[in-house]
Amino acid sequence: MVVSRHGRIPLYAQIRQEIEQDILNGKFKPGDKLPSEEDIAIMYGVSRMTARRAIDQLVSKNRLRRVQGQGTYVVEQATPSQTVGMTRWSFERIEPREGMTWKVLRVEELLPSMRVANALRTILGEKVIQITGLLYLDNTLAGYYIDHIPKLLVSSMEDLASNDVSLPSLLSQQYNLEFGKVVEHIRAIPADEDAIEMLGVEPGSALLEVTDLIYLRSRIPAILSNTVYRCDRYVYKGLLHPL
């Protein structure tokens, strides 16, 4: 198991995401005992303190629970809302609603985490491009997003640093890509360190997280997008739009 030491996301956050994905994928089921902090540190090649910080965050999010003298266990979770097709959230990233704009902060080339690599079906050692940006609604900061796409899809990272069109629209215009279905996972989350830094919210503030996996018409996954909205500044309105 490998984590990237060259990206924006801290090591502990990458490990936290990997464990969360393992829970979602069923590798760790409710009631299962997690490997020890020492074993996790060895698996990811990090310090025990880094592994402990990742576990601490999952405990605070009620994904895991510690039992004194026994270990750390997976907590039963409510099934997240999932849709397949085109919803208002994914539609906004293609054709923004009135008053919605975004600002690209960083475009980086890096080795993906296991979660990103599995979602985009990249091979070992294949790099991805990560785009980090902020979402605004009526000129007020409403959320942030982190998009990943396979590096093989584009010829230049400079093409992706645009604040004028959405990423799917840009890829469609620049590279004639045609998009198909979108699979979304939607859940309410408390603000973690990333959200506190990006959105300026208080620890534990209520946020809405939407994870989109956008496929090409050829059924190849092309964009993994994670968007976090401030609940006090963003109101969802709309219906499911099937493709």
Are residues 66 and 93 both part of a single domain? no
Domain carrying residue 27: 11-74
CATH number of the structural domain spanning residue 41: 1.10.10.10
Is 25 within a domain?
A: yes
Are residues 112 and 200 both part of a single domain? yes
Rounded CA separation 105/207 (Å):
21
DSSP label of 2: -
Q: At residue 80, does pLDDT exceed 50? A: no
Is 236 within a domain?
A: no
Are residues 144 and 27 both part of a single domain? no
Provide the pLDDT confidence category of residue 241 given band limits of 50, 70 and 90.
very low
The reported pLDDT for the residue numbered 192 is 86
Rounded CA separation 145/196 (Å):
14
Q: What is the dihedral of CA 174, 175, 176, 177, to 10 degrees?
A: -120
Q: Is the pTM of this model over 0.85?
A: no
* Mean pLDDT, range 23-50, rounded to an integer: 90
Hunting for tokens 């620890």 — which residue is that?
203
CATH number of the structural domain spanning residue 151: 3.40.1410.10
Query: What number of other Cβ atoms are within 10 A of residue 128's Cβ?
Result: 25
Are residues 196 and 149 both part of a single domain? yes
Is 2 within a domain?
A: no
Is 6 within a domain?
A: no
Q: At residue 76, does pLDDT exceed 60? A: yes
